[in-house]
Structure 1
Amino acid sequence: MPCFSSGREAALELRPDSPVYCFRPQVLAADAAAFLSAFPGKTAYAVKTNGEPMVLDVLARAGIGAFDVASPAEFAAARAAAPGAELLYMHPVKAQSDIRLALERYAIRTTVLDHEDEVAKILRIVRALDLDPQDLTLFVRIASRGEAAYELSKKFGAAPGHAAELLQRIDALGIRCGIAFHVGSQVEDADTYSRAVAVAAEVRDAAGVPVVALDVGGGFPATYARDPRRPAPLMPPLADIIAGLMAAVEARGFGATPLVAEPGRVIVARAFSVIVRVLLKKGQRLYINDGVWSSLSDSWTGKILLPVRHIPDPARRRRPGRAGRMEPFRIYGATCDSVDVLSRPFYLPESVDTGDWIEIGHIGAYSLALRTRFNGFYPDTFVEVATPFEAGDAPEGFAEPERRGVVEA
């Protein structure tokens, strides 16, 4: 993989016409180490966030010893990167064949569910393989609502009364019981964890069976951009969020219960940026060679604000507008789909023009995992970059809620 000191250096040397991902292994290793240091339980990296082999390799070397996996492809990817790592099969709804594969070929002994039919599926395979039920741990995922960019309780999670019944059924089968929750992706209210722990305690007390572990899920927030003209309360540092979580754990009687976390964004978001090129400037519209069907799905929703840096093409001597004046530009993606438009404008120098590059930072979480081959566009070029995106010149852009009258003028 070619190596550069910065994304700017990569853009000016390669002059790419296709998107280029800038991978920062040192940043990834540092953010993984920071989470491992802050969280006192088992850290199981959520492979769905970014399952690129280069990412999993760095995380294995950084000390991540467990992986949250959701499919056979993720089983294989995690095991290839870390043959001795523990795999936790944390998808609540599973195909029968995938359950068998997990238990038989990959020797996975920990999974999650939120319905009695999943208990029946698992029990069928356990009996067919003649496994000792006591070797298994089944987490019951409880519904937990909270303030997050992406709220996840609408699809998965048992109501408290139902969850208690599931725990009792699992315990009666001789299988070890755990309780799990997931407060959402990119939490916006640190107290969300405390409320979820309180619900978990209610379920534990109602079930009245031994609980061998509490899985607090993911949702730990990554650092993105924000509009400095619209100050908003900042999330506390990761250490403070986890301290609040641990205070709730102690207060609700889980102090002696082993903990599991499934971080994703907080570990991998800063490890990647993407260099895109401006294919056309049309007034205050910029058409770029990436978009919502490739690296920028998070920007489509408008819930994540990505920092951006303008990289002018030095071959263009004459430029429209002033370099020191920031203006909102509506961003259009590369495909012919009319919905391939970012929901928020990028604020960039007025002088940005056709042929320039824009480095979009902190796209390590979900951007690569969700890219598609729609229209034949599929970014897949990587370089290694030594310095964090934040190093050097300050990012020259941010986003705000769309105002069509201004952006499309």
Structure 2
Amino acid sequence: MKRFAAAREVVQSLRPDQPIYCFRPGVLAADARAFVEAFPGKTAYAVKTNSEPMVLDTLASAGVSCFDVASPAEFEAARAVNANAELLYTHPVKAQSDIRLALERYGIRVLALDHEDEVAKILRIVRGLDLDPEEITLLVRIAVRGQAAYELSKKFGAAPGHAVELVKRIYGVGFKVGLCFHVGSQVADTGTYERAIASVAWVRSRAGVPLALLDIGGGFPAPYGHDPRQAPPPRQDTQALVTGIVSEIGEWGLDDIPLVAEPGRVIVARSFSLIVRVLLRKGRRLYINDGIWASLSDSWTGKITLPARLLPDSARRKRAGNPDSVVPFKVCGATCDSVDILSRPFYLPETVGTGDWIEIGHIGAYSLALRTRFNGFYPDTFVEVTTPFEAAGPAESLASLETMAD
């Protein structure tokens, strides 16, 4: 992998006509260590967020030894970088063959569920393999709701009353039992966590059995961009958020239970940026060589404004417009699908034109995991960059960032 100080050097050296990912392993390692130091329990990186080998290898080297996994492919990816990594199988609905693989081949001993049929599937395989149920912890996922950019309880989670029944059943057949929840993604306040923690306390008090584990899921926010014409959003402070969550756990009398968290976005978002090229400018529309079917699905949802920086083509001497005037541009992707238009604009100098490059920051989370091969477009070129995105010069839509705890 070629190494550069910043994306500007990449375009000057390579003049790329295809998208290029800029990987910052130093940023990734620092953000991972920051979360591990802030959280008093076990940190299980959510592999779904970004499962690239370079990411998992960097995390393993930084001391992350536990991974939140949802499929055999993720089991293998995590164990490829650390043969002794602890794996938490937190997908609530699983194929029987995958359960057997998890228990027999990968030695996974923590699994999540939200329905009695899932208990039956696991118990059948445990008995078939002649395993001791007391060595296995089953986490009952509780449905929770709150303020999140991406709400994750529409598909999974047992209602509190149902969770009580599941906890009693699991404990009664000999398994260790725990509780888990996932408040969603990009949750910036403790209120949503507090409501979930209150549900945990309610379930525990009514189930009346010892709990081996409390998994508080993910949701910890990463910094993104904003409309530069408006006041920037509050600075994300992961340390303060974690401190608030842990305080709430204590207030509800749950601080005697071992804790697990499943951070993903907060750890990996800042470690990648993407260089794209402007294929065509039509007025205030920019057609670029990436899009929602590749790296930019997060921007399609309308939940997140991605920070963007213009990297002008130095070969173009004449430009129209005022370089100091920042305006919003509608961004269209590379595919022939007319849906391939980002929901939120890029804020760039009005001088941007065909042939220029744009560096899109903080796209380490989900962008690579969700890219497709639609129309034959599939960005897969990487370089290493040493300078953090926010330290490499002006990016008009980037929130004001100081030393970042997340």
In the superposition, the TM-score normalised over structure 2's length comes to 0.97
Q: Distance in 1 between matches of 2:356 and 2:384?
A: 21
Q: Report deviation, 1:236.
A: 5.0
Partner of 1:238: 238
Q: Distance in 2 between matches of 1:359 and 1:240?
A: 30
Partner of 2:88: 88
Partner of 1:404: none
Q: Are 1:278 and 1:288, in contact at CA under 8 Å, matched by a contact in 2?
A: yes
Aligned partner of residue 73 in structure 1, secondary structure: helix
Unmatched tracts of structure 1, length 5 or more = 400-409
Partner of 1:194: 194
Q: Report deviation, 1:189.
A: 3.0
Aligned partner of residue 126 in structure 1, secondary structure: helix
Aligned partner of residue 97 in structure 2, secondary structure: helix
Aligned partner of residue 209 in structure 1, secondary structure: coil
Partner of 2:46: 46
| 1:120 matches 2:129 | no
Partner of 2:339: 339
Partner of 1:149: 149
Deviations along 1:183-238, whole A, 9 cap, x unmatched?
00111433211111111000111111110110000000001112243336526511
Q: Report deviation, 1:19.
A: 0.2
Partner of 1:257: 257
| 1:272 matches 2:272 | yes
Partner of 2:371: 371
Q: Are 2:71 and 2:98, in contact at CA under 8 Å, matched by a contact in 1?
A: yes
- Write the letter of the residue equivalent to 2:187: V
Partner of 1:292: 292
- Write the letter of the residue equivalent to 1:309: R
Q: Are 1:294 and 1:368, in contact at CA under 8 Å, matched by a contact in 2?
A: yes
Q: Distance in 2 between matches of 1:181 and 1:291?
A: 32
Q: Are 1:327 and 1:349, in contact at CA under 8 Å, matched by a contact in 2?
A: yes
Q: Distance in 1 between matches of 2:398 and 2:86?
A: 39
Q: Report deviation, 1:170.
A: 0.2
Deviations along 1:282-339, whole A, 9 cap, x unmatched?
1111000000000000000110111100000001111121211111111000000000
Partner of 1:129: 129
Partner of 1:352: 352
| 1:397 matches 2:397 | yes
| 1:139 matches 2:139 | yes
Q: Are 2:226 and 2:397, in contact at CA under 8 Å, matched by a contact in 1?
A: no
In the superposition, the TM-score normalised over structure 1's length comes to 0.96
The 1:282/1:228 distance shift into structure 2, 3 A limit, reads closer
Aligned partner of residue 320 in structure 1, secondary structure: coil
Q: Distance in 2 between matches of 1:397 and 1:235?
A: 14
Q: Distance in 2 between matches of 1:130 and 1:365?
A: 39
Q: Are 2:43 and 2:260, in contact at CA under 8 Å, matched by a contact in 1?
A: yes
Q: Distance in 1 between matches of 2:248 and 2:187?
A: 17
- Write the letter of the residue equivalent to 2:329: F
Q: Are 2:188 and 2:236, in contact at CA under 8 Å, matched by a contact in 1?
A: no
- Write the letter of the residue equivalent to 2:71: S
Deviations along 1:145-176, whole A, 9 cap, x unmatched?
01110000111000000000000000001100
The 1:233/1:321 distance shift into structure 2, 3 A limit, reads closer
Alpha-carbon RMSD across the aligned residues, in angstroms, is: 1.1
Q: Are 1:194 and 1:244, in contact at CA under 8 Å, matched by a contact in 2?
A: no
Q: Report deviation, 1:76.
A: 0.3
Q: Are 2:299 and 2:306, in contact at CA under 8 Å, matched by a contact in 1?
A: yes
Partner of 1:226: 226
Partner of 1:403: none
The farther-off stretch of 332-341 and 384-393 is 384-393
Q: Distance in 2 between matches of 1:397 and 1:10?
A: 21
Partner of 1:55: 55
Partner of 1:74: 74
Q: How many residues of Structure 1 are paired with residues of Structure 2 in the alignment?
A: 399
- Write the letter of the residue equivalent to 1:4: F
Q: Distance in 2 between matches of 1:279 and 1:171?
A: 60
Aligned partner of residue 150 in structure 1, secondary structure: coil
Partner of 2:7: 7
The alignment-based identity, stated in percent, is: 69
Q: Distance in 2 between matches of 1:134 and 1:235?
A: 44
Deviations along 1:11-55, whole A, 9 cap, x unmatched?
111100000000000000000000000000000000000000000
Give 4+ residue runs of structure 1 displaced > 6 Å after superposition.
none
Q: Distance in 2 between matches of 1:135 and 1:194?
A: 30
| 1:327 matches 2:327 | yes
Q: Are 1:149 and 1:188, in contact at CA under 8 Å, matched by a contact in 2?
A: no
- Write the letter of the residue equivalent to 1:248: E
The farther-off stretch of 301-310 and 227-236 is 227-236
Q: Distance in 2 between matches of 1:73 and 1:5?
A: 33
Aligned partner of residue 281 in structure 1, secondary structure: strand
Partner of 2:213: 213
Partner of 2:402: none
